[in-house]
Amino acid sequence: MEAFALWEHSFDAAAAEALSVVLSHPYKTCILAEARVKTDCFFGVRGRGGGPMKVIVFGASGMVGQGTLRACLRDPGVTEVTVVVRSPLGRADPKLREVVRANVGELGGAEGELRGFDATFWCLGVTSAGKSEAEYRKVTYDLTLSAATSLAEWNPGMTFVYVSGTGTDSTERGRTMWARVKGATENALLRLPFRSAYMFRPGVIRAERGIRSRTTSYRLMYAIFGPIVRLVGWVAPNSITSTDRVGRAMIAVVRTQPAERIFGTRAINALAG
């Protein structure tokens, strides 16, 4: 609820109905409105509002994936989390299930383990450095679409959330190779028969709670520029996001089903709360 001038009366009315109410600063409400994020809840509907949610996470061993997995395991409304991984995570949690595949894009034979889910959070990605466009497209576009096509067939009511990055080229005709491939991947995902699909385009992501990137160049970059990133985050909080915020925003976008389909850093932070 926005803390507008007469909020007390609405707050008391909602409390009388035993509803949980959170006050939002007017500035934050403006950000949500700009992103066209619906914040009304549909209680009791699976995967929306206060309803239970079953999710699949790809890339759970990576930096963004670790943050997303943590957010899912901590959220009481997420009742089951299945991770599709190349090797076991070595982590135990009552909510957690693992599907181990040598090629996570090939899901043949896993239909029984991957049917009946409300959302997929795709956090899997690789750097384009040192790769040709054909090589990068194979591990970005081809792998993602192979898995997503199967999931859409098995879970027509699913919401698919894909993490790409700021600068992604929706026209697919730009001069930057990785941006063209990411743009093509986003466009193809939006055409699949999911209930809905959302594209997250974060810029700088701050790793939290001991999470580290598996990419050597990224680890080096964070080690060198970490203090600067923290300073920028303090001065201009909507210029960067964090692993925690990306995870919480993914869950929020499934619950709220906003009209907007592409979210940058500012909107991701608003969704995360």
In the chain, domain spans: 1-34, 45-272
**Residue 80 CB-density burial (10 A; 0-12 exposed, 13-18 middle, 19+ buried):** middle
pLDDT at 206: 84
- pLDDT exceeds cutoff 90 at 221: no
For residue 240, the number of C-alpha atoms closer than 13 Å in the C-beta half-sphere is 18
Q: For residue 72, which amino acid is it? A: C
Q: What is the topology classification, in CATH, of domain 45-272? A: Rossmann fold (3.40.50)
Strands 240-242 and 159-163: unpaired
- What is the rounded average pLDDT for all residues in the chain? 83
Q: Tens digit of pLDDT for each residue in 185-218?
A: 999 999 999 999 999 999 888 877 655 555 555 5
Tokens standing for residue 264: 């940058």
- pLDDT exceeds cutoff 90 at 19: no
Q: How confident is the model at residue 93 (pLDDT cuts 50, 70, 90)?
A: very high
206-243 exposure pattern, b = at least 16 Cβ within 10 A, e = fewer: bbeeebebeeeebeeebeeeeeebeeebeeeeeebbbb
Q: Is 47 helix (H, G, I), strand (E, B) or coil?
A: coil
pTM assigned to the model: 0.78
pLDDT at 215: 54
Q: Tens digit of pLDDT for each residue in 233-261?
A: 555 556 789 999 999 999 999 999 999 99
Residue 223 in contact with residue 217, Cβ under 8 Å?
A: no
- pLDDT exceeds cutoff 80 at 232: no
Residue written as token pair 């992604």: 168
In whole angstroms, what is the distance from residue 246 CA to residue 187 CA?
21
Q: What is the DSSP letter of 210?
A: T
- pLDDT exceeds cutoff 60 at 53: yes
In whole angstroms, what is the distance from residue 31 CA to residue 221 CA?
30
